[in-house]
């Protein structure tokens, strides 16, 4: 009997400790339950009826701003902007901070080919609690490269203007397209950064986003995110696709097995575009909005592709934009399942919209694509993306 009491006491203590252990695992720890509540199969998007599809991943209450070592992804918001575009940049910042970044405080990194003014720095930094960085683009990343023939460039500009290609005579626009295509991610300020969200002046964001966009990209193994796809002006890129085919002939190993070549080469919906662009549908992701993993741009296939295009001279002799260059590379060299349509992000860059059917959106008309002339509806290439790739 004397031995029974200690044994009973030991049993009671063991049961208590076991119950306490189970409570710690299943009772109070939201982190343990996170995979069940926010699993990778749950996509933070809205279905066509406007009803939520699953639970939003990583709502803001899972994120603890201001606490050291809180879960923030290696990422930045990126803007190429001039000092004189300050007013438009402030507009874009207000919208994105209000709808998303005030919950997550990702840093803003601003780039310019001339130094930023103190006014620009003061007014932009005042709009966010996040860090703001102001970077100067090296001249060798911005200036016309040495292998471009200036006389040929001048003659090419005349041809582009004759074909009514916008910005054809603006050297800075050609430089910008080249920089956005293959130079920005080489800047020392981004050397150790992986993801970025590109934001331009005078854009609008309409919908409250309650999850960490960059964490979604990382956890779901996404390379690129877009909101709008358009058709490009075929006369601005007549040799881009032939140069791409030439590159593929030299490097057939770079073509991904799960590519989006059908989307890039479609000739049914806009046959005149395919013909004038020599085999390219001209469909592209509208890159004034893009969320991307810079490891793709840093990869050997993309670097080799960009260098091939750069030497061909089409950024200056024609008006190759970063949008078709990025889109073609993604469509050929990346698994198309890693390209994501952010249909829950309400966005406008004049004159086009991505306006979701969601109670989280204010200030845009559901489903509206453009507030311009009716013919602009033909420029929407999203139906072709859904046809060949799907809605993710």
| pLDDT exceeds 80 at position 49 | no
Q: For residue 221, what are its two tokens?
A: 């193994």
Q: What confidence score (pLDDT) does residue 9 get? A: 52
Model confidence band, residue 392 (pLDDT cutoffs 50, 70, 90)? low
Q: Among the listed ranges 47-51, 85-89, 338-342, 381-385, which one has the minimum average pLDDT value? A: 47-51
| CA distance linking residue 370 with residue 377, whole number of Å | 7
Q: Which CATH number describes the domain made up of 70-388?
A: 3.90.550.10
| pLDDT exceeds 70 at position 220 | yes
| pLDDT exceeds 60 at position 42 | no
Q: What confidence score (pLDDT) does residue 70 get? A: 55
| pLDDT exceeds 50 at position 38 | no
| pLDDT exceeds 50 at position 284 | yes
Q: pTM of the entire structure?
A: 0.83
Classify residue 367 as left (phi > 0), alpha (psi -120 to 50) or beta: left
Catalytic entry in 97, 290, 334, 379: 290
Q: What confidence score (pLDDT) does residue 46 get? A: 33
Model confidence pLDDT, tens digit, residues 292-305: 999 999 999 999 99
Model confidence band, residue 134 (pLDDT cutoffs 50, 70, 90)? very high
Model confidence pLDDT, tens digit, residues 2-27: 545 555 555 554 555 555 444 443 44
> Percentage of the chain surpassing pLDDT 90?
79
- Bridge partners, 380 (sequence order): 230
Mean pLDDT of the chain: 87
Contacts of 232 (CB under 8 A, 6+ apart): 273, 277, 282, 283, 284, 321, 323, 324
| CA distance linking residue 159 with residue 318, whole number of Å | 9
Inter-residue contact 390 to 343 (CB < 8 Å): no
| pLDDT exceeds 90 at position 179 | yes
| CA distance linking residue 387 with residue 286, whole number of Å | 18
Select from 340, 381, 344, 339 the least CA-distant residue to 359. Answer: 344
The domain segmentation of the chain, as residue ranges, is 70-388
Residue 290 annotated to the active site: yes
Q: What confidence score (pLDDT) does residue 372 get? A: 87
Q: What confidence score (pLDDT) does residue 6 get? A: 52
């Amino acid at each position: 009997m004397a031995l029974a009491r200690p044994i009973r006491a030991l049993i009671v203590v063991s049961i208590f400790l076991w119950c306490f252990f189970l409570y710690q695992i299943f009772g109070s720890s939201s982190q343990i339950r996170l995979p069940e509540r926010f699993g990778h199969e749950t996509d933070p998007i809205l279905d066509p009826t406007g009803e939520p599809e699953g639970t939003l991943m990583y709502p803001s209450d899972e994120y603890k701003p201001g606490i050291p070592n809180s879960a923030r992804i290696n990422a930045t918001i990126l803007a190429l902007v001039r000092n004189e575009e300050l007013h438009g940049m402030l507009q874009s910042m207000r919208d994105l901070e209000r709808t998303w970044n005030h919950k997550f405080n990702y840093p803003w990194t601003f780039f310019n080919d001339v130094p930023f003014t103190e006014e620009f720095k003061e007014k932009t930094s005042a709009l966010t609690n996040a860090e703001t960085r102001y970077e100067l683009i090296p001249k060798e990343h911005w200036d016309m490269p040495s292998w471009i023939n200036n006389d040929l460039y001048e003659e090419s500009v005349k041809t582009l203007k004759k074909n009514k290609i916008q910005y054809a005579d603006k050297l800075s626009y050609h430089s910008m397209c080249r920089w956005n295509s293959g130079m920005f991610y080489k800047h020392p300020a981004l050397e150790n950064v992986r993801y970025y969200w590109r934001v331009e002046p005078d854009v609008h964001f309409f919908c409250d986003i309650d999850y960490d966009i960059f964490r979604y990209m990382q956890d779901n193994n996404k390379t690129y995110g877009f909101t709008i796809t358009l058709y490009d002006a075929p006369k601005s890129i007549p040799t881009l696709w032939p140069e791409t085919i030439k590159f593929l002939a030299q490097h057939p190993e770079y073509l991904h097995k799960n590519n989006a070549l059908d989307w890039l080469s479609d000739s049914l919906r806009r046959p005149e575009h395919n013909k004038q662009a020599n085999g390219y549908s001209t469909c592209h992701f509208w890159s004034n909005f893009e969320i991307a993993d810079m490891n793709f741009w840093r990869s050997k296939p993309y670097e080799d592709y960009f260098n091939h295009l750069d030497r061909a001279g089409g950024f200056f002799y024609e008006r190759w934009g970063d949008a078709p260059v990025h889109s073609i590379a993604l469509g050929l060299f990346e698994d198309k399942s890693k390209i994501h349509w952010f249909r829950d992000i309400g966005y406008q860059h004049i004159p086009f919209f991505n306006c979701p059917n969601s109670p989280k959106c204010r200030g845009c008309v559901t489903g509206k694509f453009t507030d311009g002339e009716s013919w602009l509806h033909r420029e929407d290439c999203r139906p072709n993306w859904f046809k060949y790739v799907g809605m993710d």
